[in-house]
Amino acid sequence: MDLLLLLQQTLNGLQLGVMLFLMAAGLTLIFGIMDLINLAHGSFYMLGAYVTAWLVGLVDSFLPALALALLLTAAVGFLVEAVALRRLYGRDHLYQVLATFGLILFFNEGIKLLFGPQPIFLQPPVWLAGQLPVFGAPYPVVRLAIIAVGLASALLLWWLIGRTRLGMLIRAGADDREMVQALGVDIARLFGLIFALGAALAALAGAMAGPILAVRIGMGEDILILAFVVIVIGGIGSIRGAFVGALLVGLVDTYGRALLPDVLGLFLERTMADAAGASIASMAIYILMALVLAFRPRGLLPARG
């Protein structure tokens, strides 16, 4: 196997990994602290992509558009939480599934109404065009930027959760919700903030995905499933688990798709190897999930409590 290709695939895996982390981080907090299953998290991803694309068209400058898109999506997240989801805390997960499923339908149709059913294109900014050599392998600058932004976000989150008062409240809330309330903290505000933060992170992932994948309706659902797998592997409520899980899933998925057909090609004839490889690769991360659960039912790095 070509070392150059291997290197590129590793970088691809990292890039997928950090994007998954951005999705999973907010989601795992919402699952762990608020015990709320939010299927509509992918909609924030989609909103981030669409709103950024739209604003770039208006403002013609990427970073301000991105910043504004994140703010807007966070605001939408805050609103959704306050209006629709707040009443669902503590309720049977079934009703949370129902409500957030309804939200997905609403957002998908809404976007279709505003932007039309065809995918739109999000132009990466000019200063991210081209390729850079990484250990001798040419690699798109856009993807490098995504990896950088993703890692930076991880660091930012680590600082936020570990070193700030808000982070302390979040960790306390993950351990014991009622206690935090008893301490006089406005739980409603705290939850709203966590939700908005999660939405912003998802929007960031979506906006960054735009230049690479297409900006289309329903794009959030595909990555959401992966984020679920990440959270299950990493451990619900655990940001560290989300980070490790995300990188693991990103790498396994990327390597699987790139390498499996070739590995199988050693035993099977070409077309069979390609077909089987593609099929098995698409299942690789789920098999990984099943394996992790078999030995560690609570994930690799479960949150305490």
The pair phi, psi for residue 39, each rounded to 5°, is -75, -20
Binding-site member from 79, 278, 300, 301 for another protein (CB under 8 A): 278
Tokens of 93: 């997960």
Size of the site for another protein (CB under 8 A): 44
Give 109 or 176: the residue with its C-beta nearer to another protein. 109
Q: Using CB under 8 A, which of the segments 127-135, 136-144, 189-197, 285-293 binds another protein?
A: 285-293
Query: Does 44 participate in binding another protein (rule CB under 8 A)?
Result: no
Site for another protein in 170-229 (CB under 8 A): 221, 225, 228-229
Closest CB 97 distance from another protein, rounded Å: 6
Query: Does 168 participate in binding another protein (rule CB under 8 A)?
Result: no
Closest CB 146 distance from another protein, rounded Å: 23
Give 87 or 163: the residue with its C-beta nearer to another protein. 87
Give 94 or 182: the residue with its C-beta nearer to another protein. 94
Closest CB 16 distance from another protein, rounded Å: 15
Binding-site member from 61, 123, 131, 279 for another protein (CB under 8 A): 279
Give 98 or 152: the residue with its C-beta nearer to another protein. 98
Query: Does 132 participate in binding another protein (rule CB under 8 A)?
Result: no
| Among candidate residues 13, 152, 169, 173, the one with its CA nearest the CA of residue 89 | 173
Site track for another protein across 71-110, x = CB under 8 A:
-------------x--xx----xxxxxxx-xxxxxxxxxx
Give a three-class secondary structure readout of the chain. CCHHHHHHHHHHHHHHHHHHHHHHHHHHHHHHHHCCCCCCHHHHHHHHHHHHHHHHHHHCCHHHHHHHHHHHHHHHHHHHHHHHHHHHCCCCHHHHHHHHHHHHHHHHHHHHHHHCCCCECCCCCHHHCCEEEECCEEEEHHHHHHHHHHHHHHHHHHHHHHHCHHHHHHHHHHHCHHHHHHCCCCHHHHHHHHHHHHHHHHHHHHHHHCCCCCECCCHHHHHHHHHHHHHHHHCCCCHHHHHHHHHHHHHHHHHHHHHHHHHHHCCCCHHHHHHHHHHHHHHHHHHHHHHHHHHCCCCCCCCCC
Give 11 or 36: the residue with its C-beta nearer to another protein. 36
Query: Does 252 participate in binding another protein (rule CB under 8 A)?
Result: no
Residues forming the site for another protein (CB under 8 A): 31, 35, 37, 39, 84, 87-88, 93-99, 101-110, 112-113, 221, 225, 228-229, 231-232, 236, 275, 278-279, 282-283, 286, 289-290, 293-294, 297
